[in-house]
Structure 1
Amino acid sequence: MRIVFVGDVMGEIGMRAVKMYLPLIKAKFHPQVTIVNGENADNGRGIKATQFKAILQAGADVVTLGNHAWDKRDVNELLATNDNLLRPANYPGKNTPGQGMVIKKVNQQQLAIINLQGRALMNPLDDPFMIADQLLQQVPKETKIFVDFHAEATSEKGALAHYLDGRVDAVVGTHTHVQTNDAHVLPKGTAFLTDVGMSGSYDGILGVKASSSVQRFLTQQPTRYEIDDNGRPQINYCVLDLETHNHIQVGQINPDHPLDV
């Protein structure tokens, strides 16, 4: 089973990158399932119905979220009516809208897609390790399992991957917007990448205008971050082959790394 996973869609320029490049990536790699993290799609904070639908139209099968999951007013209805939109499963509360896991039938196989959020340097959600254990008990045998772990600390991402090694097929990190150079398979067979990177401006800083970020560091005063929607677009992704021996490779398309078809 082949999966393409695209990193955090950041603002309108990130949406343009997905619309432009995702069909080309799919044409090159022919994945059975395409997953996109869309939690920054609406001006960097959350997702609206228009962006969710546009990401699906560009070729995504499932859209995951993160710490900005609740930033838009209509997201509760979106989560309640779309099982292919996931929010982190470890948000607390019994009546939290939506779900953090979906199981998809892929030809003669099944794929469980799990969305979790870290707690180090982030909001104090329920324990993602404990919630992962609970979710795995609900997954039928012989099901492939992919985890989008939306977390700040690289150590927490690595810890969850090692904790789940051999029990899930892949753990890929999101949230920090910079693609890491550590795609590998852990000793018990789980494919791991600390962060897949983002889709957005190639010229900004983590997707925002460089000037606003620089100003904050120069003055130590609160500066409003502005999305760099006029920069050059980029998309970051990874390709996973979930077989007897799992495999992961990273990819990026930007002005310095054009798509190699």
Structure 2
Amino acid sequence: MRILFFGDLVGEMALRYLEGNLPRLRRELGVDFVVANGENVDLTDPALGKAGMHPETVERLLACGVDAITGGNHSFDPPWAEEVLDHPRVLRPLNAGPFAPGRGYLLLEGKGQALVVVNLVGRSAWPPADDPLWALEGLLPSLEAGIPIVVDFHSESVFEKLGLAFALDSRVGAVLGTHTHVPTQDLRILPKGTAYVSDVGMVGPSGGMQGYEPGFLVAFLKGKRLPRGARLAWAGGPLEVGAVVVDLEGGRARAIRRLEIPVPQGG
């Protein structure tokens, strides 16, 4: 089984890239399932620095070939979050708590194969979250044995991500880090067969701060308050594509590699 996983999608540039390239990538790579983290794909309230997803964006991602959309600390930002999270192919962190809208995992089926996708958030990225390892430990016994599991762990901390991956080594096929938007080089397969990377990176515009124009974020950093009259905006640099390809067999990883593709200037 081959999975193509895209890190945090940031802005319209990321959407256009997937719409223009994902059908071809699925064919050329022989991908069985595509997962993308979509919690930064839209600016849902630029004056308050809020991100998230519009319902229309969900449909665009699914139409171009994404099978599951994961989230993180921005999953609950939009006032219409419940509408988005009600979609059966959209996930929010499993450890957001028992009363949060939406779901923290889903089962994908196709081509005679099945895959469980789980979304977790680290407390370093979202302090109100429940313990991510405990949440996943509580879920695993209820899942059907033999179906591979891929975890999107949305966390600021490499310690959190690595700790969870080693705790689950052999019981999940992959732990793929998201949230920092910065791709890391530490792709590996842990001793008992779990694929790991600290951060997949982002799909979005370079040249700013994590895909965003830095002015708003720097003003907030300096004053510890929202800058009056300013609005969060996308960065203006060329497109970055952060994605990994994971090969699974019998629930364990055989390989993990970065998607290396040339991207024209401007996306």
- SS of the equivalent of 1:18 reads helix
2:171 pairs with one of 150, 167, 171: 167
TM-score of the superposed pair, with normalisation by structure 2: 0.87
The answer to whether 1:226 aligns with 2:214 is no
Match of 2:21 in 1: 21
- Give the secondary structure class of the aligned counterpart of 1:45: strand
Q: Measured at CA, do residues 9 and 121 of structure 1 come closer, stay the same or move farther in structure 2, by a change above 3 Å? A: closer
Q: What is residue 206 of structure 2 aligned with on the other side?
A: 202
* Contact 2:248/2:254, CA 8 A, preserved across alignment: yes
Give the 3 Å change call, closer, same or farther, for CA 151–250 of structure 1 in structure 2. same
Q: 1:119-130 to 2 correspondence within 5 Å?
A: 119-120=123-124, 122-130=126-134
After superposing the two structures, state which structure 1 stretch, 124-133 or 100-109, moved more.
100-109
Counterpart residue identity of residue 92, structure 1:
G
Structure 1's 119 and 106: CA in aligned 2 closer, same or farther, altered over 3 A?
A: same
Question: Greater shift after overlay, 196-205 or 30-39?
Answer: 196-205
Check the 8 A contact 2:169/2:194 in 1, yes or no.
Answer: yes
Aligned partner of residue 176 in structure 1, secondary structure:
coil
CA deviations over 1:156-178 (Å, ceiling 9, x no partner): 01111111101100000100001
Shift of 1:78: 2.6
C-alpha displacement of 1:210? 4.1
Contiguous gaps of at least 5 residues in structure 1: none
| Structure 1 residues 11-59: Cα deviation after superposition (integer angstroms, max 9, x where no partner) | 2222223223333432321211000100011126111101111111121
Alignment match of 1:74 (pick from 80, 83, 88):
80
Q: Give 1:225 shift.
A: 6.6
Q: Identify if the C-alpha distance between structure 1 residues 88 and 96 changes in structure 2 by more than 3 Å, giving closer, same or farther.
A: same
Instruction: Classify the secondary structure of the residue corresponding to 2:233.
Output: coil
Deviation at 1:256?
Answer: 8.2
Aligned partners of 2:106 and 2:116 also within 8 Å: yes
Q: What is the DSSP-based 3-state SS (H/G/I as helix, E as strand, rest coil) of the residue aligned with 2:109?
A: strand
**Retained in 1: the 8 A contact 2:5–2:35?**
yes
Aligned position for 1:179 = 183
| Cα pair 2:214 2:235 within 8 Å, conserved | no
Change (3 A) 1:225 1:242: farther
Say whether 1:11 aligns with 2:11.
yes
User: Residue 255 of structure 2 is aligned with which of 229, 244, 247?
Assistant: 247
Question: CA separation in 1, counterparts of 2:208 and 2:19?
Answer: 20
What is the aligned partner in structure 1 of residue 47 from structure 2? none
What is the CA–CA distance in structure 2 between the aligned matches of 1:31 and 1:214, rounded to whole Å?
40
Deviation at 1:247, TM superposition (A): 1.1
- Figure out how many residues of one structure are paired with residues of the other and give that number: 256
CA distance in 2 between counterparts of 1:183 and 1:121 reads 21
Q: CA RMSD in A?
A: 2.4
Give the equivalent residue in structure 1 for 2:95: 90
* TM-score, with structure 1 as normaliser: 0.89
**Structure 1 residue ranges (4+ consecutive) displaced by more than 6 angstroms after TM superposition:** none
1:242 partner letter: L
Of the structure 1 ranges 118-127 and 29-38, higher mean CA displacement relative to structure 2 is found in: 118-127
Partner of 2:145: 141
Structure 2 distance, partners of 1:9, 1:186, is 27
- Distance in 2 of aligned mates of 1:146 and 1:69: 19
Q: State the AA in 2 paired with 1:5.
A: F
Q: Which moves more between the two structures, 102-111 or 66-75? A: 102-111
Q: Aligned equivalents of 1:255 and 1:203: distance in 2? A: 15
2:56 is paired with a residue of what secondary structure?
Answer: helix
Deviation string 1:120-145 (CA, Å, 9 cap, x unpaired) is: 25322111101111111111111100
| 3-state SS, counterpart of residue 247 of structure 1 | strand
Which structure 2 residues correspond to residues 38-117 of structure 1 after superposition, within 5 A? 38-43=38-43, 45-80=51-86, 82-93=87-98, 95-117=99-121
SS of residue in 2 equivalent to 1:182? coil
